[in-house]
């Protein structure tokens, strides 16, 4: 009886997936995509009409929204069904799944070798991570920045209990750092550029802890019901990543206009990361397992394995070369 029931459920899911297209008729399908100010793939794909070119013929609309509070806010919106697809850090995805939210990593998206930097204020005499013992560090909790900070502390013989971590978004952390309300902060992209221009000094980078990846993710319920849309979304992002590599100046102009930010800061942000839609071990398994191993060793999550949160089938079905 259980086998019969399981088979019926499987058939129902297949029929539902097909009916997304077959029964919609002229009804528009909206796919909600969460974005972050410092990222480029979604913005450029929308601005250049790549989403429209891929999906409009099937009456599918890609609706994008920028989340100022980054990964954790996107994950929260995804858990409530307000976001279907996005690009975020591995750390918030792991936390979300540990909390019972079913969110799937589909492929790599952004990556950086040393774009995240732990900095101290212009007048600080601190020159090493070890000297942060007992001091205040500003970092947005539940993000890649949070993970990197914890990893850097561990690498230099400190625990989270030996410092005071303050939950601050990057812009607020920069204000606090320059105002001497905190002693250090972890920055990347435009905020890092602003910090360095103000005289902040780098004492460590993520190069010490390995490649940091922001994978493409999807709400499990959505991607399983819409496998074709999901694969086509990855295909558009792959096209966009290749276009960005060949059109740096135009990419900077597009993102600066959308974000309302100066082009110099945008260029720094663009160059601090690479972009590749890939399932190669270097860009996916390695960084994901590194995060999993770290948070498990820290006792921050219960048992969670790579295959529990990664599904590469949508990438494979996209036919990306």
* pTM across the whole model: 0.83
- Enter the CATH code of domain 117-208: 3.40.190.10
Q: Tell me which residue of 189, 171, 186, 169 sits closest to 112, measured CA to CA.
A: 189
DSSP characters for 144-212? HHHHHHHHHHHHTT--GGGSEEEE--HHHHHHHHHTTSSSEEEE-HHHHHHHHHTT-EEEEEGGGT--E
Task: Render pLDDT for 220-276 as a digit per residue (tens, 0 to 9).
Answer: 999 999 999 999 999 999 999 999 999 999 999 999 999 888 888 888 888 888 999
pLDDT digits (tens, 9 = 90+) for 38-76: 899 999 999 999 999 999 999 999 999 999 878 889 999
- Domain boundaries defined on the chain: 27-113+214-318, 117-208
pLDDT in tens, 162-213: 999 999 999 999 999 999 999 999 998 778 888 999 999 999 999 999 999 9
Nearest-angstrom CA–CA distance, 145 and 95: 14
Give per-residue pLDDT as tens, 102-123: 999 999 999 999 889 999 999 9
Options 3.40.50.2300, 3.40.190.170, 3.40.440.10, 3.40.190.10; CATH for 27-113+214-318 is: 3.40.190.10
**Quick one: DSSP state of residue 28?**
P
Same fold, 27-113+214-318 and 117-208: yes
């Amino acid at each position: 009886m259980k086998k019969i029931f399981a088979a019926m459920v499987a058939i129902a899911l297949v029929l539902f997936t097909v009916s997304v297209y077959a029964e919609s008729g002229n009804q528009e399908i909206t796919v909600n995509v969460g974005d972050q100010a410092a990222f480029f793939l979604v913005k450029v794909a929308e601005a250049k009409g790549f989403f429209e070119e891929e999906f409009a013929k099937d009456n599918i609309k890609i609706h994008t929204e920028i989340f100022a509070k980054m990964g954790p806010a996107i994950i929260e919106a995804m858990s409530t069904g307000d976001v279907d697809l996005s690009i975020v850090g591995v750390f918030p995805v792991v936390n979300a799944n540990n909390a019972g939210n079913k969110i799937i990593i589909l492929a790599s998206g952004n990556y950086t070798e040393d774009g995240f930097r732990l900095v101290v204020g212009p007048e600080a005499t601190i020159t090493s991570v070890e000297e942060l013992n007992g001091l205040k560090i500003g970092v947005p909790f539940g993000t890649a920045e949070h993970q990197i900070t914890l990893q850097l502390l561990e690498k230099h013989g400190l625990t989270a209990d030996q410092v005071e971590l303050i939950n601050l978004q990057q812009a607020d952390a920069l204000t606090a750092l320059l105002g001497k309300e905190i002693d250090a902060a972890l920055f990347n992209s435009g905020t890092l550029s602003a910090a360095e221009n103000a005289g902040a000094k780098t004492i460590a980078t993520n190069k010490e802890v390995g490649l940091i990846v922001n994978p493409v993710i999807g709400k499990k319920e959505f991607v399983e019901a819409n496998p074709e849309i999901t694969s086509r979304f990855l295909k558009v992002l792959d096209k966009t990543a290749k276009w960005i590599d060949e059109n740096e100046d135009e990419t900077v102009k597009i993102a600066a206009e959308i974000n309302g930010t100066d082009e110099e800061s945008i260029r720094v942000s663009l160059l601090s990361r690479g972009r590749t839609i890939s399932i190669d071990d270097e860009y996916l398994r390695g960084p994901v397992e590194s995060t999993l191993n770290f948070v498990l060793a820290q006792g921050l999550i219960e048992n969670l394995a790579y295959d529990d949160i990664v599904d590469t089938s949508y990438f494979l079905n996209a036919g990306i070369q």
